[in-house]
């Protein structure tokens, strides 16, 4: 999987975290591992310009998605396996996200993770224009994020256990003898 990230926002973001959550969402949606994604973080003015140009809506927004190849998550059983594809572009506005995060009472990092998964789902054809679509998309978004955070916690637990084991084994040697 190839994910490129460029931060032109002037806002400090954890690029590796956003790439990781995007990769997790793409894998969770059973997209070919050779898929490509471009991510861009922009400032409020740039996002406002994009919002007007592409959506004909005034002012900035939090995330916009620009799909490239039409993909169906998981494919269909009667079709040949899909190969690598370009998913498209996700444009995030960290400053807008920070304001939303503050209003929602959680961190900007979490808000950007939510918006990244939201953007991936839009690239895969999900929408939230109708109530049923909204329930499906936001339910999937919440599920993917919950799995992502659970995996992070499990990886942290394993790393701590490995460090404790290494410390213990380093002191006593393999068979419990002092070195």
Q: Which residues are annotated as a binding site for Zn(2+)?
A: 118, 122, 128
Query: Which residue numbers belong to the known binding site?
Result: 118, 122, 128
113 token code pair: 């993770």
Helices 44-55 and 94-104 cross at an angle (nearest 10°) of: 100
CA-CA distances (angstroms) from residue 70 to 9, 26, 75, 153, 157? 28, 14, 11, 34, 38
How many Å apart are CA 170 and CA 114, to the nearest integer?
41
DSSP 71-103: --TT--TTSPPP---EEEEEEE-HHHHHHHHHH
């Amino acid at each position: 999987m190839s994910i490129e990230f460029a931060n032109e926002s002037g806002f400090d973001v954890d690029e590796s975290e956003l790439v990781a959550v995007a990769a997790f969402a793409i894998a969770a949606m059973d997209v070919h591992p050779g898929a490509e994604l471009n991510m861009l973080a922009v400032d409020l003015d740039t996002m406002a310009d994009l919002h007007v140009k592409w959506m004909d809506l005034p002012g900035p927004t939090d995330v916009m998605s620009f799909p490239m190849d039409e993909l169906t998550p998981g494919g269909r059983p009667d079709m040949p396996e899909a190969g690598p594809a370009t998913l498209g572009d996700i444009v995030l506005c960290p400053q807008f996200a920070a304001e939303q995060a503050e209003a929602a009472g959680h961190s900007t990092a979490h808000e950007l993770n939510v918006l990244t998964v939201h953007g991936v789902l839009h690239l895969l054809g999900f929408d939230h224009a109708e109530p049923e679509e909204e329930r499906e998309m936001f339910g999937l978004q919440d599920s993917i994020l919950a799995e992502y955070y659970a995996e992070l916690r499990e990886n942290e637990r394993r790393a701590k256990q490995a460090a404790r084991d290494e410390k213990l084994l380093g002191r006593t040697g393999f068979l419990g003898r002092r070195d």
